Amino acid sequence: MNYCEKCSCATEDVRCPLCGTKKLRPVREDDYCFLTECEKSYAPEHKRVLAAEGIEAVGVPYGNGFLTQVALPLENERLYVRFPDLERAVELLKQERNERDDAYLSYIRSRTDDLFVPEKLAKKLCRKLRLAEDELVPFLAREIAASDAVFDGGRIGMEEARMYLCRSERFVVTVNSDTFEVLAVDRRKRPRF
């Protein structure tokens, strides 16, 4: 296993997957390795999940240069764990994400009666999907109920509301988590092979 000192990334490749450098060295047991980058609001929860399993995680604020120039707090945080704990930490965060996605899915399915579509978007979607206006909301409710996964798309502006992306077999429906306003409906892209 190799280690990039610039990115703190452990990899089996001869190149760092983050920066592309070939200047790698063998990883040591005391190296802190990059685990994930997440919104600052999720970092304490990730640290709590890892700490419950005895894994120490270190968070480093991370963002773009503009926020630093205007002295605003950085919006993301990068988490690092010791190399011996890296594999277990990845599995724990995957498990936590799956549980959270299942909770989002059941929450969204329970609130499909609250869905509403803004007038301008409704007209556009009715043309695009060839539906009558009174068929649109029931159609979207069925697509959300048939979703196989719901993803958190992040905050909407400066509000606490979040975008939930509901992925069904044919569509991705984006919904405001607080108001249940439909923000977008896109056809799912399929790989071409």
What was the pLDDT predicted at 158?
59
- In sequence order, the 6+-apart residues with CB closer than 8 A to the CB of 96 are 45, 46, 49
107-130 average pLDDT score: 90
Least confident of 41-50, 149-158, 161-170, 172-181: 149-158
CATH of 2-101, picked from 3.30.70, 2.30.29, 3.40.50, 2.30.30, is 3.30.70
Q: Which residue has the higher pLDDT, 180 or 158?
A: 180
- Asked if the model's pLDDT at residue 119 lies above 90, the reply is yes
- Asked if the model's pLDDT at residue 154 lies above 90, the reply is no
Q: CATH topology of 2-101 equal to that of 111-187?
A: no
% of the chain beyond a pLDDT of 70: 95
Least confident of 8-12, 39-43, 183-187: 39-43
Architecture of 111-187 per CATH?
2-Layer Sandwich (3.30)
Instruction: Convert 77-107 to b/e letters by CB count within 10 Å (16 or more is b).
Output: bbbbbbbebbeebeebbeebbeeebeebbee
First to last CA, the chain: 32
Delimit the domains of the chain by residue range: 2-101, 111-187
% of the chain beyond a pLDDT of 90: 45
29-47 average pLDDT score: 89
